[in-house]
């Protein structure tokens, strides 16, 4: 049994994440749904970059990217990832570790169609993570993609989502004198019950 209450109260870590994100939406200046997503390459060397979390499902977190970029290659190879959401305005963070699979169907189509047209064209134009000789070369590709794809482009076959199903979620809140509050939710596999523990700061 833990002494969770207040901002840590609840029996569902996804509901708790939604609640914290909702609070952050009222206080963060930009992109309260930004996550620092961590992967590893074939040698075990870590990589991290900021992406936007687009859906919190009942048992997973969903984000989108180019399947041909470094990020996707590392996600596909390992099937694992971690991320952290940090809100300076709230002095809170959520850390997540788990298993990833592609979301490459109707849900990805729907999200792609919800994006601004220029962002949809940009997905077609960018050979993500590959060298480009200049900004002008990028803009030339955007112009070519605009002409080729028109005003209602379909989702590129090389672009879609990932669904991260967590095995561990940690909720952290700043405390006086660095005596922070930390609660970790862990499960052995995706069908196990969550075990909750308070951690030393």
d(CA 59, CA 180): 27
Backbone angles phi, psi at 200, to 5 degrees: -60, 150
Instruction: Identify the active-site residue in 113, 178, 186, 187.
Output: 178
The H or E element that residue 79 is part of is none
Whether 178 is a known active-site residue: answer: yes
d(CA 129, CA 138): 13
Q: Which two tokens stand for residue 77?
A: 């190879």
DSSP structure class, residue 154: P
Q: Which two tokens stand for residue 169?
A: 């979620």
Q: Which two tokens stand for residue 174?
A: 């700043």
Residues labelled catalytic: 178
């Amino acid at each position: 049994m833990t002494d969770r209450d207040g901002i840590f109260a609840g029996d569902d870590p996804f509901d708790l994440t939604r609640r914290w994100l909702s609070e952050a939406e009222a206080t963060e200046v930009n992109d309260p749904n930004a996550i620092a997503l961590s992967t590893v390459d074939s040698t075990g060397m870590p990589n991290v970059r900021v992406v936007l979390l687009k859906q919190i499902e009942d048992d997973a977190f969903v984000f989108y990217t180019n399947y041909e970029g470094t990020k996707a290659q590392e996600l596909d190879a390992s099937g694992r990832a971690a991320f952290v959401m940090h809100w300076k305005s709230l002095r809170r963070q959520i850390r997540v570790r788990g298993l990833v699979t592609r979301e490459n169907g109707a849900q990805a189509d729907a999200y792609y169609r919800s994006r601004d047209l220029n962002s949809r064209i940009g997905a077609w134009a960018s050979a993500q993570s590959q060298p480009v000789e200049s900004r002008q070369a990028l803009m030339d590709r955007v112009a070519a993609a605009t002409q080729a794809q028109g005003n209602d482009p379909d989702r590129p076959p090389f672009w879609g989502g990932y669904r991260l199903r967590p095995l561990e979620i940690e909720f952290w809140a700043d405390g006086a004198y660095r005596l922070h509050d930390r609660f970790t939710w862990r499960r052995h596999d995706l069908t196990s019950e969550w075990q909750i523990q308070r951690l030393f700061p």
